[in-house]
Chain A
Amino acid sequence: MSEILSFYLNGNPVEVLVKPEQTLLELLRDELGLTSPKCGCNHGDCGACTVILDGKAVKSCLVLAPTVKGKKVVTADGLCSGEKLHPIQQAFLDYGAPQCGYCTPGMVMAATAFLLENPKPTKEEIKEALSGNLCRCAGYEKYTEAVLAVSKGEFGLLPEGSDFNV
């Protein structure tokens, strides 16, 4: 029994047909064509599907799609403003953090949400924050260093408001 679901995606209101049993990950990828959230394990272990839901990082394979009614969902696609990448995205690039790249969109979202809550973290706190995101290429050190660099302001100020407070 499909129903129309309305929510905000990367700052824009969307209306889409949703099945009761669909996950948010399926909805984003299969119905809305946003393939930045990856389906790694589909049961909440790997973090490749991480998105930001109402300002908090969540694994979208663990979220039942109909429950996001009226909420704000941000994917890695919604972080850049025009051609300009989000500081986290730029830092990951400059530090050469992505290897195969499969975990990267999830890492980007987890790190972004984390810095919103804790703008001046220690290295240990960053490691803990990213512990739910697995990287098969074991690029953890570079991801951690890149987030640390962003928190020290090396990649400019983190954009406020914009998509997180639609």
Chain B
Amino acid sequence: MRSYFYESPDSFGKLFEILEDNSIEMKFLAGGSDFVPRLSLEREKIHKENQKDSMIINLSDLGLNYIVENDTEVIIGATTTFAEIEKNDIIKGEFPALIKAINEIAGFSVRNIATIGGNIMNASPAADSVPVLMVLEAEFVLRGPDGSRNIEAKEFFTGPGKTVAKENEVLTHIIIRKNKGKSAFNKLGRRKAETLSVVNAAAYVEKENNICKAVRVAIGSVAPTVLRCEEVEELLLGKELTEENIRVASEKVVDAISPIDDIRASAWYRKKVAPVIVRRAIEAAIVD
């Protein structure tokens, strides 16, 4: 059985020093709501021979728990919990769709520890915060030993559980530009509460005299990563925001997605329901 080690560095210098050891597998811990059950499962099952030892690195002491704003942006530290974001007045004012999405993530005792950075780095195709971050064109900032780099949300995910982050890079914060349009989030789960998404979607719309001036749509849980649906966006841009136009554009999401059967729903059902969830998200984003 592999041995486990634990460190909780309070500076990036110490963090990168720990990461230099190649003999041990490095694992980052944020809130733990996904990490810890996965670890428990690993400990319960039959152990592989010759597995590298595991170093658990707690990121909570790196000072990444904050929400700040300037004239044009809001910046959320990666280890800020969902409960803290939900209650934050800046977020309530600027990005109500993010609050809506967070409200639908698990229950309050999970949101008390789960972090936005963990939700992102976990890279689940069903992550509820990600579609909203994608339509808000959020940037994710990764910090490694050689410095920081900013990556757009839509370029960040490469597969289920996979991101562009290198093994020695940590997500430090999320930058969201303030905007003049309105965004919304819609989720279909198997139950009302404490449930993972069958399909989730977010939309961002700027309109003038009911003409669509800018639109961004993202959908989750129907492909290896959360997707931006450019097919839908192209069809809606410049058009009048009528019920019919929105419905027709939403149908286009079927061309973008590649759902699978899993314990929550079948691929067939997801294809049927995806346009509906996208339509509802867009409709919620155009309500005055």
Footprint of B on A, CB under 8 Å?
1, 3, 19-21, 23, 42-45, 47, 50, 53, 56-59, 61-64, 66-67, 69, 110, 113-114, 128-129, 131-133
Q: Taking beta carbons and an 8 Å cutoff, which residues of B are in contact with A?
A: 3-6, 8, 29, 31-33, 35-37, 39-41, 43, 54, 56, 58, 60, 83, 106-110, 112-113, 192-194
With A and B bound together, what is the CA distance between A110 and B109 in angstroms? 7
In the bound assembly, the distance between CA atoms of A23 and B6 in angstroms comes to 13
Contact A20 B5 (CB under 8 A): yes
Q: List 22 A-B contacts (CB under 8 A).
A: A19-B4, A20-B56, A42-B37, A43-B40, A57-B112, A58-B109, A58-B112, A58-B113, A59-B109, A61-B37, A62-B37, A62-B110, A63-B36, A64-B39, A67-B32, A110-B109, A114-B108, A128-B108, A129-B108, A131-B107, A132-B108, A132-B194
Looking at B4, B56, B109, the one whose CB has the most chain A CB atoms below 10 A away is B109
Contacts of A42 in B (CB 8 A): 37, 40
**DSSP majority for the A interface?**
mixed
Among A56, A66, A133, the residue within 8 A (CB) of B58 is: A66
CB distance from B30 to the nearest CB of A (A): 10
Among residues of B, the one whose C-beta sits closest to the C-beta of A26 is B40
A63 to B56, CA, bound (A): 13
A66 touches B8 (CB 8 A): yes
**Which of chain A's residues have a CB closer than 8 A to the CB of B31?**
62
Measured in the bound complex, the distance between the Cα atoms of B225 and A18 in whole Å is: 37
Shortest Cβ distance from B107 into A: residue: A132
Give the residues in chain A near B107, CB-CB below 8 Å. Answer: 47, 128-129, 131-133
